[in-house]
Amino acid sequence: MGNYLLKPVEELAKQLSAGLTRLRKDYVDAAESLLSIVQPDLEYPYELVLYRLTGYRSARARPIQPLAGKALRHDLRALILEICDSFDLKTSDYGQAAYNLRSLAQRLRVSTKTVQRWCKSGLVARRLVFPDGKKRLAFLSGSVRSFARQRRRQVLRSVRFSQMSQAEVDFVVRRARRMALRQGGSLLAISRRLARRTARAVETIRYTLRNYDRANPGMAIFPGQSSPLDAASRQAIYRCFLHGISASTLAGRYRRTRGSIYRLINEARARALLQRKMEYIYNPQFDLPEAQTLILAPDLPPPPPPAPVTLEKGDDTEQAIMGICQAPLLTATQERALFQQYNFLKYQADHLRQGIDCQSARSVQLRRIERLLMQAESLKSSLVRANLRLVVSIARRHLRGPQSLMELISDGTVSLMKAVEKFDYARGFKFSTYASWAIIKNFARSVPQERYRLDRFATAPEEMLDVTGGLSRYDARAVPVSELRDCLEVVLAQLSPRERSILVNHYGLDQDAPPQTLEELSRHLGISKERVRQIELKAMGKLRHMLQPDRQGLLG
């Protein structure tokens, strides 16, 4: 999306971008035609702009204030790019040559910076799909000719500045080498000094020196700046920028210009967005012309206040749970609206990122996508907070194994977050029903029945019989508990000391000590909780293997 100066043109651009696809190319061509006649020092009625773009005459009761010509020229260029971003317009759709930024600069023998300056002066650019399948900034030959007629003096001056004789090139190279050896400095700093002495443009001098270094790597004046940065350096620049280091500082550190640093950062941001997994539930309403207004504009009624929670004094776990349950519940209307907005924002972000070209990514476009994703994540957090009570309720019902209540709540919250991403609000079901099924299904996987059974050993003699029931030399229902414990000790003796210690302490097989959680065992053993769980599963596998009927003789 462009940065518009006129609100009416910004609203019009959104409407045209969401209109019929078969008409959008006509809107783009009409905008370029209108741009060619708009004068910066005049004012234009909005009705005229609307009619020239769409052929539709506005029936507004109150006319809009006239639009300033200078701001209108800026907004028309932004409108053209925004409409091009809304669908795939190919170069083959035009019966004339189309150039990308680099090929146009080479054809006119100017720098890419010069072409970008021309764009700000009125050169119309589109975003088209080239034959290689990539969507890039494109310039039609007709647009270039029209701009050259209107800005003939500016174009000729830029071309002359770029056309240096070989003698001038040699002079610039010699002086630049002498300055670099005697005074030092970056490519940009020396280019500025030489530009003042030669009456040439700074970009012309810099472009000449960079080309010389690329053609003569063994005699390069700025060897660190002529060769492209490797992948590790690019990633380091991006990480430093994310940590708050300015582009100017990075430019000095890597001996680059600020513009090149920003290009590297935008390229890294674009790649990160393209690689990001972006899932959403599509709805046909998202393609309606008025979707932006219908879905995101309505103000939702405030949620009801949270129900009071009464807790006993001194219960730390319940005090923590009280903080979890403070978020107010959502009404059915609020819930549906939040899910609709959440998926629509991700749909918009995914649609916009399809037009990203890593080599020429724009900061405005990247910020727009990142802002949409941040808004979507904010809505997701609201939906998760409003349903945490459901997680607590289900976790309490599954508090039968060795896991603590907080561990179950943490595990259930992950399932709740996944359920928010997968829920289809358009089917008419309540989210609590879908989320409950997802959380319970996850608990069924994460708390296996085998762990439940072993956890019951320390609670009653009848439950301990299940372990020794597999040993054929015992009558599993007619032996004393003491003999069963002796049998358990025989079986556990086959394990390593660490495996035996984890099973005994986790399931409370020692009568003198209560069961310990995985987190307590991890602190005691000095290893991670995940590693404790892996050792426990391995030990239980050994026990199952030893208790098989064909191996019981080895234990007797």
Residue 291, pLDDT score: 85
- Compute CA distances 389 → 40, 136, 302, 438, whole Å: 60, 49, 19, 15
Q: What are phi and psi of 479, to 5 degrees?
A: -120, 150
Residue 416, pLDDT score: 92
Residues in CB range of 433: below 8 A, 6 or more apart = none
Alpha carbon distance 520, 502 (integer Å):
11
| 3-class state of residue 44 by DSSP | strand
Query: Whole-prediction pTM value?
Result: 0.49
Are residues 49 and 34 in contact, defined by beta-carbon separation less than 8 angstroms?
A: yes
Q: What are phi and psi of 230, to 5 degrees?
A: -80, 175
Edge-to-edge, what's the strand order for the sheet holding 135-140?
A: 98-100, 135-140, 126-129
Residue 341, pLDDT score: 93
Nearest one of 429, 431, 489 to 457, comparing CA atoms: 489
Nearest one of 132, 122, 44, 126 to 85, comparing CA atoms: 126
Residue 479, pLDDT score: 44
Residue 347, pLDDT score: 92
Residue 299, pLDDT score: 59
Helix and strand counts by DSSP (H, E) for the chain: 28, 5
Q: Please give the average pLDDT of every successive group of 10 residues along the chain, which has 556 residues.
A: 80 88 91 90 90 80 78 91 91 91 86 84 90 91 89 75 77 89 79 84 82 84 69 86 84 75 88 89 87 75 52 57 77 91 93 84 87 92 91 84 79 91 90 90 68 46 44 44 61 80 82 80 86 87 68 45
Both tokens assigned to 176: 């630049």
Residue 379, pLDDT score: 92
Residue 420, pLDDT score: 93
